[in-house]
A = this chain, B = another copy of it.
Amino acid sequence: MIRAIAALMLSPLAGGCVAAAAIPAVAGSMIVKSQMDKKRERRVEVQETAPAQSVDTPEGRVTVIKGMTALPPPSGAPFDGAPAAAAGKAVPETMQYLYGSGESAGLSMQAYRTLADYLTNNIAYRRKETLRQVVMSDGSSLNVPLFEPCGAKPLAIVLDIDETAVLNLGYESDAARRGGGYDDARWQRWEASGVDKVTAVPGAKMALDAARKAGIAVIFNSNRGNANAAATEAALNHAGLGPAKHGETLWLKGDDGGGSGKDDRRWAIASGYCVVAMVGDQLGDFSDLFNDPRMTPAARRAFAATSPVAELWGNGWFLLPNPVYGTGLKGGFDDVFPADTRWSDPAEGVK
Protein backbone atom coordinates (compact mmCIF):
# COMPACT_ATOMS: atom_id res chain seq x y z
CA MET A 1 0.00 0.00 0.00
CA ILE A 2 1.39 3.35 -1.02
CA ARG A 3 1.36 5.83 1.82
CA ALA A 4 1.66 9.17 0.17
CA ILE A 5 0.01 12.53 0.44
CA ALA A 6 -1.24 13.98 -2.79
CA ALA A 7 -1.96 17.64 -2.81
CA LEU A 8 -4.40 18.23 -5.61
CA MET A 9 -5.31 21.80 -6.46
CA LEU A 10 -8.89 21.39 -7.48
CA SER A 11 -12.08 23.36 -7.68
CA PRO A 12 -13.44 24.35 -4.27
CA LEU A 13 -16.24 21.85 -4.55
CA ALA A 14 -14.94 19.10 -6.68
CA GLY A 15 -11.91 18.55 -4.51
CA GLY A 16 -13.58 16.60 -1.76
CA CYS A 17 -15.64 14.59 -4.17
CA VAL A 18 -12.61 13.46 -6.07
CA ALA A 19 -10.91 12.15 -3.01
CA ALA A 20 -14.10 10.49 -1.92
CA ALA A 21 -15.09 8.72 -5.02
CA ALA A 22 -12.57 8.57 -7.80
CA ILE A 23 -9.29 7.77 -6.20
CA PRO A 24 -9.07 4.28 -4.80
CA ALA A 25 -8.09 4.43 -1.18
CA VAL A 26 -8.42 1.89 1.58
CA ALA A 27 -9.05 2.93 5.14
CA GLY A 28 -6.23 5.11 6.34
CA SER A 29 -5.38 6.31 9.79
CA MET A 30 -5.48 10.04 9.39
CA ILE A 31 -7.35 12.70 7.59
CA VAL A 32 -7.12 16.38 7.69
CA LYS A 33 -10.45 17.99 8.24
CA SER A 34 -11.75 21.38 7.33
CA GLN A 35 -12.61 23.74 10.15
CA MET A 36 -13.62 27.06 8.75
CA ASP A 37 -13.62 30.11 10.91
CA LYS A 38 -16.23 31.98 8.91
CA LYS A 39 -16.17 31.78 5.19
CA ARG A 40 -12.92 33.52 4.32
CA GLU A 41 -10.62 32.38 7.12
CA ARG A 42 -9.66 28.78 7.42
CA ARG A 43 -7.53 26.59 9.57
CA VAL A 44 -6.76 22.93 9.72
CA GLU A 45 -7.36 20.28 12.34
CA VAL A 46 -6.42 16.61 12.43
CA GLN A 47 -9.00 13.94 13.13
CA GLU A 48 -9.17 10.17 12.64
CA THR A 49 -12.16 9.29 10.53
CA ALA A 50 -11.80 8.62 6.85
CA PRO A 51 -9.18 7.77 4.27
CA ALA A 52 -9.24 10.95 2.25
CA GLN A 53 -10.70 14.40 2.56
CA SER A 54 -10.18 17.89 1.23
CA VAL A 55 -9.16 20.83 3.35
CA ASP A 56 -8.85 24.53 2.90
CA THR A 57 -5.48 26.09 3.56
CA PRO A 58 -4.13 29.55 2.91
CA GLU A 59 -2.80 28.05 -0.32
CA GLY A 60 -6.23 26.86 -1.41
CA ARG A 61 -8.17 23.63 -1.36
CA VAL A 62 -5.96 20.59 -0.87
CA THR A 63 -6.93 16.95 -0.87
CA VAL A 64 -5.02 14.63 1.44
CA ILE A 65 -5.01 10.95 0.59
CA LYS A 66 -3.57 7.96 2.39
CA GLY A 67 -3.31 4.43 1.13
CA MET A 68 -3.84 5.19 -2.54
CA THR A 69 -3.24 2.04 -4.55
CA ALA A 70 -4.43 2.69 -8.08
CA LEU A 71 -6.22 5.13 -10.33
CA PRO A 72 -8.97 4.73 -12.92
CA PRO A 73 -7.54 3.74 -16.29
CA PRO A 74 -6.75 6.66 -18.62
CA SER A 75 -7.96 4.51 -21.48
CA GLY A 76 -11.50 5.45 -20.63
CA ALA A 77 -12.42 1.85 -19.93
CA PRO A 78 -15.31 1.32 -17.53
CA PHE A 79 -14.47 1.63 -13.86
CA ASP A 80 -15.51 -1.27 -11.67
CA GLY A 81 -16.85 0.91 -8.89
CA ALA A 82 -15.26 -0.92 -5.97
CA PRO A 83 -12.72 1.76 -5.10
CA ALA A 84 -15.47 4.35 -4.95
CA ALA A 85 -17.25 2.27 -2.33
CA ALA A 86 -14.05 1.82 -0.37
CA ALA A 87 -13.55 5.56 -0.18
CA GLY A 88 -17.20 6.27 0.51
CA LYS A 89 -16.80 7.69 4.00
CA ALA A 90 -15.76 11.16 2.87
CA VAL A 91 -19.18 12.75 2.91
CA PRO A 92 -20.16 14.78 -0.17
CA GLU A 93 -20.53 18.49 0.55
CA THR A 94 -24.19 18.46 -0.41
CA MET A 95 -24.84 15.87 2.31
CA GLN A 96 -22.68 17.73 4.82
CA TYR A 97 -24.85 20.74 4.16
CA LEU A 98 -28.29 19.11 4.16
CA TYR A 99 -27.85 16.49 6.87
CA GLY A 100 -25.05 17.90 8.98
CA SER A 101 -25.19 21.68 9.04
CA GLY A 102 -26.89 24.10 11.36
CA GLU A 103 -27.52 26.25 8.31
CA SER A 104 -29.88 23.75 6.68
CA ALA A 105 -31.52 23.00 10.03
CA GLY A 106 -32.19 26.72 10.40
CA LEU A 107 -33.56 26.95 6.85
CA SER A 108 -35.96 24.10 7.59
CA MET A 109 -37.05 25.60 10.89
CA GLN A 110 -37.63 28.88 9.09
CA ALA A 111 -39.76 27.26 6.39
CA TYR A 112 -41.92 25.35 8.87
CA ARG A 113 -42.26 28.29 11.21
CA THR A 114 -43.37 30.40 8.26
CA LEU A 115 -45.92 27.71 7.39
CA ALA A 116 -47.25 27.58 10.95
CA ASP A 117 -47.50 31.37 11.15
CA TYR A 118 -49.21 31.46 7.77
CA LEU A 119 -51.79 28.92 8.88
CA THR A 120 -52.43 30.84 12.10
CA ASN A 121 -52.36 34.37 10.72
CA ASN A 122 -53.57 34.08 7.14
CA ILE A 123 -55.82 31.03 7.07
CA ALA A 124 -57.33 29.84 10.32
CA TYR A 125 -59.32 32.95 11.12
CA ARG A 126 -60.69 33.47 7.62
CA ARG A 127 -64.08 32.32 6.44
CA LYS A 128 -63.59 29.33 4.17
CA GLU A 129 -65.67 30.98 1.48
CA THR A 130 -62.95 33.57 0.93
CA LEU A 131 -60.20 31.01 0.33
CA ARG A 132 -58.76 29.67 -2.90
CA GLN A 133 -56.79 26.54 -3.64
CA VAL A 134 -53.01 26.92 -3.83
CA VAL A 135 -53.03 23.97 -6.24
CA MET A 136 -52.93 25.34 -9.78
CA SER A 137 -55.97 24.26 -11.78
CA ASP A 138 -55.78 22.19 -14.93
CA GLY A 139 -55.26 24.58 -17.84
CA SER A 140 -52.92 26.87 -15.92
CA SER A 141 -49.55 28.04 -17.15
CA LEU A 142 -46.77 29.45 -15.01
CA ASN A 143 -47.49 32.85 -16.54
CA VAL A 144 -51.23 32.52 -16.09
CA PRO A 145 -51.81 30.40 -12.99
CA LEU A 146 -55.41 29.62 -12.09
CA PHE A 147 -56.62 28.88 -8.58
CA GLU A 148 -60.18 27.77 -7.91
CA PRO A 149 -62.30 29.04 -5.04
CA CYS A 150 -62.60 26.56 -2.20
CA GLY A 151 -66.27 26.81 -1.41
CA ALA A 152 -67.02 24.98 1.83
CA LYS A 153 -64.43 22.22 1.50
CA PRO A 154 -62.47 21.27 4.62
CA LEU A 155 -58.98 22.76 4.84
CA ALA A 156 -55.83 20.76 4.15
CA ILE A 157 -52.10 21.15 3.62
CA VAL A 158 -50.29 18.83 1.19
CA LEU A 159 -46.70 17.77 1.79
CA ASP A 160 -44.11 15.79 -0.08
CA ILE A 161 -42.36 13.22 2.14
CA ASP A 162 -38.70 12.65 1.17
CA GLU A 163 -36.39 15.49 2.26
CA THR A 164 -39.53 17.53 2.95
CA ALA A 165 -41.16 15.81 5.92
CA VAL A 166 -38.45 13.24 6.67
CA LEU A 167 -34.71 13.05 6.13
CA ASN A 168 -33.72 9.71 4.61
CA LEU A 169 -30.60 9.41 6.74
CA GLY A 170 -30.43 5.63 6.49
CA TYR A 171 -30.55 5.50 2.71
CA GLU A 172 -28.20 8.42 2.23
CA SER A 173 -25.67 7.24 4.82
CA ASP A 174 -25.57 3.94 2.97
CA ALA A 175 -25.20 5.80 -0.34
CA ALA A 176 -22.37 7.91 1.10
CA ARG A 177 -20.61 4.83 2.47
CA ARG A 178 -20.96 2.64 -0.59
CA GLY A 179 -20.66 5.18 -3.34
CA GLY A 180 -22.37 4.07 -6.52
CA GLY A 181 -25.28 5.70 -8.28
CA TYR A 182 -28.96 5.78 -7.54
CA ASP A 183 -30.36 2.25 -7.50
CA ASP A 184 -34.12 2.04 -7.75
CA ALA A 185 -34.33 -1.54 -6.47
CA ARG A 186 -32.32 -0.53 -3.40
CA TRP A 187 -34.55 2.49 -2.90
CA GLN A 188 -37.60 0.20 -2.95
CA ARG A 189 -35.98 -1.97 -0.26
CA TRP A 190 -35.24 1.21 1.68
CA GLU A 191 -38.90 2.26 1.53
CA ALA A 192 -39.88 -1.17 2.83
CA SER A 193 -37.23 -1.66 5.51
CA GLY A 194 -35.92 1.77 6.54
CA VAL A 195 -38.94 2.70 8.65
CA ASP A 196 -36.97 3.54 11.80
CA LYS A 197 -33.96 5.11 10.06
CA VAL A 198 -35.58 8.40 9.14
CA THR A 199 -35.91 11.55 11.21
CA ALA A 200 -38.32 14.45 10.89
CA VAL A 201 -37.06 17.50 9.04
CA PRO A 202 -36.42 20.18 11.70
CA GLY A 203 -39.63 22.06 12.36
CA ALA A 204 -41.96 19.64 10.56
CA LYS A 205 -43.53 18.17 13.67
CA MET A 206 -44.19 21.60 15.16
CA ALA A 207 -45.93 22.81 11.99
CA LEU A 208 -47.97 19.64 11.44
CA ASP A 209 -49.06 19.64 15.07
CA ALA A 210 -50.14 23.26 14.67
CA ALA A 211 -52.07 22.46 11.50
CA ARG A 212 -53.92 19.54 13.03
CA LYS A 213 -54.66 21.55 16.17
CA ALA A 214 -56.24 24.20 13.94
CA GLY A 215 -58.42 21.56 12.29
CA ILE A 216 -56.46 21.51 9.05
CA ALA A 217 -55.95 18.07 7.51
CA VAL A 218 -52.36 16.94 6.84
CA ILE A 219 -52.08 15.06 3.55
CA PHE A 220 -48.93 13.57 2.02
CA ASN A 221 -48.36 13.33 -1.75
CA SER A 222 -45.20 11.33 -2.44
CA ASN A 223 -43.51 9.41 -5.23
CA ARG A 224 -42.83 6.55 -2.88
CA GLY A 225 -44.51 3.43 -4.28
CA ASN A 226 -47.99 2.39 -3.22
CA ALA A 227 -46.76 -1.18 -2.74
CA ASN A 228 -44.87 0.12 0.31
CA ALA A 229 -47.75 2.16 1.73
CA ALA A 230 -47.78 0.46 5.13
CA ALA A 231 -44.04 0.99 5.62
CA THR A 232 -44.34 4.64 4.60
CA GLU A 233 -47.19 5.13 7.09
CA ALA A 234 -44.94 3.56 9.74
CA ALA A 235 -41.97 5.77 8.78
CA LEU A 236 -44.12 8.90 9.19
CA ASN A 237 -45.26 7.61 12.58
CA HIS A 238 -41.66 6.89 13.57
CA ALA A 239 -40.73 10.48 12.71
CA GLY A 240 -43.64 11.76 14.80
CA LEU A 241 -45.46 13.11 11.75
CA GLY A 242 -48.36 10.67 11.48
CA PRO A 243 -50.99 9.51 11.36
CA ALA A 244 -51.21 9.11 7.60
CA LYS A 245 -53.58 6.62 6.01
CA HIS A 246 -53.12 5.41 2.47
CA GLY A 247 -56.10 6.30 0.33
CA GLU A 248 -57.14 9.07 2.70
CA THR A 249 -54.23 11.25 3.84
CA LEU A 250 -51.40 9.47 2.00
CA TRP A 251 -51.13 9.52 -1.81
CA LEU A 252 -48.39 7.54 -3.48
CA LYS A 253 -47.00 6.82 -6.90
CA GLY A 254 -49.29 4.39 -8.64
CA ASP A 255 -52.43 5.67 -6.93
CA ASP A 256 -53.38 7.60 -10.03
CA GLY A 257 -52.31 5.06 -12.60
CA GLY A 258 -48.57 5.59 -12.39
CA GLY A 259 -46.06 8.24 -13.33
CA SER A 260 -44.11 10.58 -11.14
CA GLY A 261 -46.10 13.65 -12.04
CA LYS A 262 -48.07 14.82 -9.04
CA ASP A 263 -50.69 17.07 -10.62
CA ASP A 264 -53.29 14.33 -11.00
CA ARG A 265 -52.99 13.43 -7.33
CA ARG A 266 -53.04 17.11 -6.36
CA TRP A 267 -56.25 17.62 -8.33
CA ALA A 268 -57.80 14.53 -6.73
CA ILE A 269 -56.95 15.90 -3.28
CA ALA A 270 -58.25 19.37 -4.19
CA SER A 271 -61.56 17.85 -5.30
CA GLY A 272 -62.22 17.02 -1.66
CA TYR A 273 -60.23 19.63 0.23
CA CYS A 274 -59.36 23.29 0.18
CA VAL A 275 -55.58 22.99 -0.14
CA VAL A 276 -54.26 26.12 1.59
CA ALA A 277 -50.56 25.19 1.59
CA MET A 278 -48.16 22.87 -0.21
CA VAL A 279 -44.73 21.92 1.08
CA GLY A 280 -41.85 20.38 -0.90
CA ASP A 281 -38.17 20.33 -1.71
CA GLN A 282 -38.60 20.16 -5.52
CA LEU A 283 -40.54 22.52 -7.76
CA GLY A 284 -42.47 19.48 -8.97
CA ASP A 285 -44.01 19.30 -5.51
CA PHE A 286 -45.95 22.43 -6.49
CA SER A 287 -46.70 21.99 -10.19
CA ASP A 288 -45.69 19.54 -12.90
CA LEU A 289 -45.29 22.56 -15.19
CA PHE A 290 -41.85 23.13 -13.64
CA ASN A 291 -40.73 19.77 -15.03
CA ASP A 292 -41.44 20.56 -18.67
CA PRO A 293 -38.37 19.11 -20.39
CA ARG A 294 -38.34 21.93 -22.96
CA MET A 295 -37.56 24.47 -20.24
CA THR A 296 -33.89 25.42 -19.80
CA PRO A 297 -32.54 25.64 -16.24
CA ALA A 298 -32.34 29.42 -16.61
CA ALA A 299 -35.97 29.68 -17.73
CA ARG A 300 -37.07 27.42 -14.90
CA ARG A 301 -35.20 29.54 -12.39
CA ALA A 302 -36.71 32.70 -13.86
CA PHE A 303 -40.21 31.26 -13.49
CA ALA A 304 -39.48 30.42 -9.85
CA ALA A 305 -38.05 33.88 -9.17
CA THR A 306 -40.15 36.31 -11.19
CA SER A 307 -43.35 34.78 -12.62
CA PRO A 308 -46.76 35.32 -10.97
CA VAL A 309 -46.36 32.08 -9.00
CA ALA A 310 -43.19 33.46 -7.37
CA GLU A 311 -45.55 35.40 -5.11
CA LEU A 312 -46.52 32.11 -3.50
CA TRP A 313 -43.17 31.29 -1.89
CA GLY A 314 -43.69 31.57 1.83
CA ASN A 315 -47.29 32.45 1.11
CA GLY A 316 -48.99 29.16 0.28
CA TRP A 317 -46.01 27.33 -1.20
CA PHE A 318 -43.25 26.40 1.25
CA LEU A 319 -39.83 25.14 0.17
CA LEU A 320 -37.30 23.01 2.04
CA PRO A 321 -33.61 22.88 1.06
CA ASN A 322 -32.22 19.88 -0.82
CA PRO A 323 -28.95 20.14 -2.74
CA VAL A 324 -28.42 16.35 -2.50
CA TYR A 325 -30.60 15.16 -5.37
CA GLY A 326 -33.39 16.19 -7.66
CA THR A 327 -34.43 18.52 -10.40
CA GLY A 328 -32.32 21.44 -9.25
CA LEU A 329 -29.06 19.65 -10.04
CA LYS A 330 -28.59 20.30 -13.70
CA GLY A 331 -27.11 22.77 -16.08
CA GLY A 332 -23.74 23.34 -17.71
CA PHE A 333 -21.59 26.41 -17.30
CA ASP A 334 -23.68 28.53 -19.67
CA ASP A 335 -26.90 27.47 -17.94
CA VAL A 336 -25.73 28.31 -14.44
CA PHE A 337 -23.72 31.50 -15.03
CA PRO A 338 -25.36 34.22 -17.16
CA ALA A 339 -23.03 35.59 -19.83
CA ASP A 340 -23.14 39.13 -18.46
CA THR A 341 -21.79 38.03 -15.07
CA ARG A 342 -18.54 36.46 -16.29
CA TRP A 343 -15.41 37.77 -14.60
CA SER A 344 -11.72 37.12 -15.18
CA ASP A 345 -9.06 37.92 -12.65
CA PRO A 346 -7.44 41.20 -13.81
CA ALA A 347 -4.11 39.97 -12.43
CA GLU A 348 -4.11 37.27 -15.06
CA GLY A 349 -5.39 39.18 -18.08
CA VAL A 350 -8.45 38.52 -20.20
CA LYS A 351 -9.20 34.86 -20.86
Contact = CB atoms under 8 A, between A and B. Distances in A.
Contacts of A38: 223, 260-262, 282, 284, 291, 326-327
B318 A102 contact: no
Contacts of A100: 297-298, 301, 328, 330-331, 335-336
A103 B282 contact: yes
B34 A113 contact: no
Interface string A286-297: 000011010001
A22 B14 contact: yes
A271 interface: no
A37 interface: yes
A13 B95 contact: yes
Instruction: Please classify the interface of chain A as helix (H, G, I), strand (E, B), loop, or mixed, using the class held by over half of its residues.
Output: mixed
A71 B68 contact: no
A124 interface: no
Given A7-B79, A33-B332, A328-B102, A179 B96 contact: no
Interface in A24-81: 31, 33-42, 45, 47, 49-50, 53, 56-62, 65, 68-81
A47 B102 contact: no
A13 to B, nearest CB: 3
A9 B79 contact: yes
Given A14-B92, A34-B330, A197 B121 contact: no
